[in-house]
Chains A and B, each alone.
Chain A
């Protein structure tokens, strides 16, 4: 299983993550496709923000 790092880019939380947060997940292909198309998330290489950062 390979996780991908995503950033929440829309104005609404996604999978429990707030806008601007990054998270690691292995999304189902259809879920990922729709989320990328609507702009809810984007793939990122940025390090995942840990709780308490910032």
Chain B
């Protein structure tokens, strides 16, 4: 499989395509590490995978037009809504095994736009998985 430069990614929140307002995505899925070590001859630790914590962070450009970043994200945060999230590498191609889509229902627990004088407005929103289905990669449309 070829290496890629991230240029054409698809990012959607609550069915709104915010791809052109996003420039970075970072997905994290982590199982809690539970130490179940007992006395043993080697002294090595033993772990089991515990509960799963999932989140996806997106760096957005601040934008305040109709249906853009603020209009989409702030009501979701303010009203504690659970919404659909999607991210896949290539927005010009359908979901497939080589263009897998991360998707799931998420909440935006923190809304924290920030700006610096003279610089582009860009800030990171962290979405957390909101139901037991979690955030998963799908390979079929």
A residues lining the B interface (CB < 8 Å): 9-16, 30-31, 34-35, 37-40
Majority secondary structure, B binding face: mixed
Q: Are A12 and B14 in contact (CB under 8 A)?
A: no
Among the stretches B35-43, B47-55, B60-68, B110-118, the one at the interface with A is B60-68
Asked, given contacts A10-B65, A10-B66, A11-B66, whether A37 binds B75 with beta carbons under 8 Å apart, the answer is yes
Please tell me if the beta carbons of B66 and A34 are within 8 angstroms of each other in the complex. Answer: no
- Judged by a CB distance under 8 angstroms, whether B17 is at the interface is yes
Return the CB mask of B72-93 against A: 1 if under 8 Å, else 0: 1001100001011000000000
CB <8 Å contact, B71 and A39: yes
Assembly CA distance A16 to B84 (angstroms): 14
Nearest opposing residue in chain A for B21, CB measure: A12
* Other A-B pairs beyond A10-B67, A35-B15, A35-B16, 20, CB < 8 Å: A9-B66, A10-B16, A11-B65, A11-B66, A11-B68, A12-B16, A12-B20, A14-B67, A30-B81, A31-B14, A31-B15, A31-B84, A34-B14, A34-B81, A38-B66, A38-B72, A39-B66, A39-B67, A40-B16, A40-B67
